[in-house]
Chains A and B, each alone.
Chain A
Amino acid sequence: MIDINESVMQFLLAFIVVGPLVGAAAALLPAPPGLKGKSPEQAVLRHGVTVTGAVLIAAIVLTLGFDHDHPSKMQATTDISWIPALDVRIHLGTDGISLPLLVLTALLTFLCALYSYFKMPSGPTPKAFVALLLVLESGTLATFAVLDLLLFFLAFEMVLIPMYFLIARWGGEQRQAAAWKFILYTLLGSVVMLLGLLLIGIKAGTFDMVALATDNHPALTTSVQVIAVLAIGIGLAVKTPMWPLHSWLPDAHTAAPTVGSVLLAGVLLKMGTYGFVRILLPITPDGMSTFAPYLAAFAVVGIIYGSLACLALAKQGAKGDLKRLIAYSSVGHMGFVLLGIATMTPTGVNGALFANIAHGLITGLLFFLVGALKDRTGTSDLDTLAEETGAALYGKAPRLGGLLAFGAVASLGLPGLAGFWGEMLALFGAFDPADDLSRPAFLTFMAIAAFGTLLTAAYMLIVVRRVCMGATPQQEGPKLADVQTYEFAAWTPLVALTVVAGLWPKALLGLTDPAVQQLLAGGTR
């Protein structure tokens, strides 16, 4: 939109990746004179807000400087040799597929830092909290910005340690077990993924994603591709998570502190689906089309399974935890994303990428809201909250109730909000999958997935009924604080973007579509 010098663009992208790391190191040092603030805790939390804010600004400027007429072209690219022995290059760049994810990550991390500034989760020192948050941000941003397979793996691994500590140190009940489950599952997945990446790199002689996507390497025979897709796919599917590899997710979400859940759902899960789109679709199309029906089948099972689990949790007397419920709903939503990818059509993949962003916005918002609710009432247990008739949030804290209802209907895919387009496009894609995929199979998947949207609507509405509605208690109980200013500040951007993306999907699709077309056409169009 605005013309920015190419080297400035390069710097911006590099800053987005490296800046948080430097900030993390700085967070561990004592505050310099003049920036001491009221207390060391306050100073370091403010430091977190400043750094994530600077990264967000850089991401926004990057978006403004991005050449929106050529979103399929890699922009702001840097390409420096790092480890010649392994042929690892520091190759950064962004296109229409990764740019929205970069902005989403920067935004959500900033909102989390802002939220923590006012509402620090209970646990050990904020110093470590801020440092870990920043390392996490750097890792996720790097995942979306790098164009080298081994660097991608490095970035993928980089988020494990910070997220582990965020859950294990600042989490709720059962946090140790949940944190272990999270890190062991994902590590096992990503090590297997490494084997697949090495197989591709060694056979093709390069680890560069752009080079791999553009030329069809004769060495990548179908059998090599099949093995590679299997190995890489397992790693990515654990992260996404795809049913039946999802079982770490509900525990991790339930135990994680609010900002941990927001980032886990909003950003970390996207690393898995992004890998499918960025690596598997263009580099190993043959292997991918072998596995696409299975992927779609698992995705559809995930949709139904997630919805049924949510329905069971939402039932009266089930002692369902709201955080766990939203976590299971993520399994369902990510099922739609995987279904879209599995169709291997531009429509489906665009839908997947759209659903990715929408899920980040909406589920991020929902986790914020549930976290706030838990802080106020001391529980996120649905039965305790709702008691006999319902929690009556509309009556006790109307703004909080309203936002929760908004998040719920956005999540169930109400037309006009962000959740709608992604899922609809994914279903469209399944209606007419790529040529070499079996159409009847995908029609079946589409029908089942469409049924899944009904189930989603059902449990989301049950949640709204049980949490927001109900008889307002007559006697003066302990008062429930309504939405605070800082909470508004943290949540408004998410609400606004949900509406904008719902009403003006072209803003996003215009970016992703050309890039997707090019990826599916083998990098040359």
Chain B
Amino acid sequence: MSPLAQSLVQSVDWLAIAPPTIAAVVGLVVLVADLFVGDAKKALLGWVSVAGLAVSALALLPLLDGDRSTFCLTGDPDVCSYTADRFTLVIQLLVLGGALLAALLSVTALKDANRGLPEGEFWFLLLSSAAGAALLPASRDLATLIVALEVASLPAFALVGIKHGDRKSSEAALKFFLSSVTATAVSLMGISFVYASTGTLYLTEIATRIENVDGQLHTLAQAGVVLTLVGFAFKTAAVPFHFWVPDTYVGAPLPVAAYLSVVGKAVGFSGLILVTVIALPSYADVWGPALAALAALTMTIGNVGALRQQATRAYSAVRLLAWSSVGQAGYLLVPIAAAAYSEDAEKAIGSTLAYALMYAAVNLGAFAVAALVARTKPLNRVIDYRGLYASRPLAALVLGFFLLCLAGLPPGIIGLFAKVTVFSAAVDAGLGWLAVVMAVNVVIALFYYLQWTTLLFRAPEGEPETHRVPAPLTAAIALTAVLGIALSGAPQLVLRFSDTGLF
């Protein structure tokens, strides 16, 4: 190759980009295969997708040996668009693992829907969204970041509205779509402001150049910072961008709600972390207090919303999980806010990662049990869980465990220590008031989690009916339960991220 061509043609590190790429390719394969597979064999598509997600998660293994970067500037190999460092790998594991569990739930949901849901499209959308979500933490320039954000979100809108002829589903999708697109538009405007004031899209470059922004452009840069954050705050469902959550979760198929509650959040906060900690550390005095206030508001409003759910209302279980996920998003934001005040930002960010991993495992587990209950009680009210212990003792024990993990009380030891890391990030950063707000919230949250847990062990009303549990659902519940219990015995497995370098 001539030197000129060498300087123009980039060499691509295929291994580094394997995880999102595999997910995307399998998605396309499934979409095409859907055309040729007979109705009787549609279930095969689901298993291919599950396998594809498993393979793309396994593709993370060879990357463990060290940081890799690709799509770098030919002139400056240090400035790259795609980096697979520890942070990326952790989020990719979370995203792909979460998508895998959601896929396991979907296999059963699609089978139960009995062709009510278009299978080929469903799997294609799920895999594309997962690919986008896996790409996002690796992206190191604002353009890639936005593209990844959209690749993750656009299929999600369609997934929410995928129930044909269901008014609630379409309404939820529309709500989700409109609010999300507005947020993205605002975010894009913010990015253009940042680009205008710094002249670059690479995060690391922005970090150095934004310190020397011309005085006239200072306001522009500041406005850009704030507007950029809005889009990501929306994805994490931070207050005041949370209103779409309950209706969307209720309207969407349950596995999609589970997917959004974990992967959707991961997309939001990993984007937030990249923009704040990597691109704009010098603006910590702007985004630090903003995020701290956002965290306090989010957890309070989310938990109060969950507290106000009536157990007898239709779909109250999903609604409760939706509001509680808003509350949990507040806890996830605390360490990011703390990173602004702390000397060791990476340590604080690590607390968010540790908390997110715990949350992903137990929240998906709770959704899995909810999916199990929804098979016999389609209204999925909290009251429907009464006496679950009598009919399905293991499912009840496991759900109780998940809920107590979310509440952060023993026996949910991992939940407790994940909260402790978040608290310690706040205390370490001197954000005492935020820690106190969070303490109050933990108590509020305990009330509704424990109320639900108590119901499980009540005497059931009427004869308990037992059905055979489909294998994929059992697998999802078992997987999350084993994860939760293993982590409770050895919290270090996830908490170590709060103690090591990430970037």
Contact = CB atoms under 8 A, between A and B. Distances in A.
Interface of A: 82-86, 88, 124, 128, 135, 139, 150, 153-154, 157-158, 160-161, 164-165, 168-169, 180, 183-184, 187-188, 191-192, 194-195, 198-199, 201-202, 227
A153 B498 CA distance: 20
A191 B424 contact: no
Contacts of B417: 83, 86, 88, 150
A92 B66 CA distance: 38
A39 B67 CA distance: 62
A192 B492 contact: no
Contact of A198 (B420, B436, B457): B420
A8 B395 CA distance: 39
A195 to B, nearest CB: 5
Contacts of A198: 420, 423-424, 427
Contacts of B491: 82-83, 85-86
A84 B499 contact: yes
B413 interface: yes
A201 to B, nearest CB: 8
Given A82-B492, A187-B446, A192-B439, A160 B409 contact: yes
Interface in B457-503: 457, 459, 491-492, 495-499
18 contacts: A83-B491, A83-B492, A85-B495, A86-B417, A86-B495, A86-B498, A124-B459, A150-B417, A158-B410, A160-B410, A164-B450, A165-B454, A165-B457, A169-B457, A184-B447, A188-B443, A191-B439, A227-B432
Contacts of A202: 424, 427-428
Given A83-B417, A84-B496, A154 B410 contact: yes
B450 A183 contact: yes
Nearest to A176: B454
Contacts of A164: 450
Contacts of B440: 188
B436 A192 contact: yes
Interface residues of B, number: 34
A183 B404 CA distance: 13
A85 B499 contact: yes
A191 B442 contact: yes
A195 B420 contact: no
Given A188-B440, A188-B443, A195 B435 contact: yes
Interface in B118-169: none
B421 interface: yes
Interface-central residue, A135, A158, A164, A187, by most chain B CB under 10 Å: A187
B386 to A, nearest CB: 13
A153 B440 CA distance: 17
Contacts of A180: 447
Given A83-B495, A86-B495, A124-B459, A194 B423 contact: yes
Contacts of B424: 86, 198, 201-202
B331 to A, nearest CB: 13
Contacts of B411: 135, 158, 161
A227 B432 CA distance: 10
Nearest to B444: A184
B416 interface: yes
A194 B420 contact: yes
Interface-central residue, A83, A135, A227, by most chain B CB under 10 Å: A83
Contacts, number: 92
A168 B454 contact: yes
A85 B492 contact: yes
B433 to A, nearest CB: 11
Nearest to B492: A83
Given A83-B491, A194-B420, A184 B410 contact: no
A191 B499 contact: no
A161 B457 contact: no
B140 to A, nearest CB: 26
A271 B409 CA distance: 17
Contacts of A165: 454, 457
A161 B454 CA distance: 10
**Leading 3 A-B pairs by shortest Cβ distance:** A85-B499, A85-B495, A191-B439
B427 A195 contact: yes
Contacts of B436: 192, 195
Contacts of A169: 457
Given A158-B410, A168-B454, A195-B436, A84 B492 contact: yes
A523 to B, nearest CB: 25
A135 B427 CA distance: 31
Contacts of B459: 124
B94 to A, nearest CB: 17
B410 A157 contact: yes
A187 B447 CA distance: 10
B278 to A, nearest CB: 22
Contact of A191 (B443, B457, B497, B498): B443
A154 B413 contact: yes
Contact of B409 (A83, A157, A195, A201): A157
B457 A128 contact: yes
Contact of A184 (B404, B446, B492, B498): B446
A217 B137 CA distance: 41
Contacts of A86: 417, 420-421, 424, 491, 495, 498-499
A158 B404 CA distance: 11
A151 B443 CA distance: 20
A195 B432 contact: yes
B437 to A, nearest CB: 11
A191 B457 CA distance: 26
Given A85-B421, A227-B432, 13 more contacts: A83-B491, A85-B497, A86-B420, A153-B420, A157-B410, A158-B410, A161-B411, A164-B450, A165-B457, A191-B443, A194-B439, A198-B424, A202-B427
B412 to A, nearest CB: 9
A191 B446 CA distance: 12
Contact of B443 (A83, A161, A184, A195): A184
Nearest to A150: B420
B492 A187 contact: no
Given A86-B421, A161-B410, A184-B446, A195 B439 contact: yes
Interface-central residue, B427, B457, B459, by most chain A CB under 10 Å: B427
A180 to B, nearest CB: 7
Nearest to B427: A198
Given A157-B409, A168-B454, A195-B439, A183 B446 contact: yes
Contacts of B427: 195, 198-199, 202
B442 to A, nearest CB: 5
Contacts of B496: 84-85
A133 to B, nearest CB: 15
A238 to B, nearest CB: 12
B347 to A, nearest CB: 10
A184 B407 CA distance: 12
A520 to B, nearest CB: 28
Contacts of A124: 457, 459
A281 B499 CA distance: 31
Contact of A161 (B409, B439, B495, B499): B409
Interface string B394-427: 0000000000100001110100110011011001
A197 B73 CA distance: 48
A161 B404 contact: yes
A187 B410 contact: no
A188 B436 CA distance: 10
A88 B417 CA distance: 10
A483 B447 CA distance: 41
Interface-central residue, A84, A88, A198, by most chain B CB under 10 Å: A198
A220 B285 CA distance: 28
A412 B439 CA distance: 39
A188 B491 CA distance: 24
B454 A187 contact: no
A85 B424 CA distance: 12
A202 B423 CA distance: 11
Interface-central residue, A84, A128, A195, by most chain B CB under 10 Å: A195
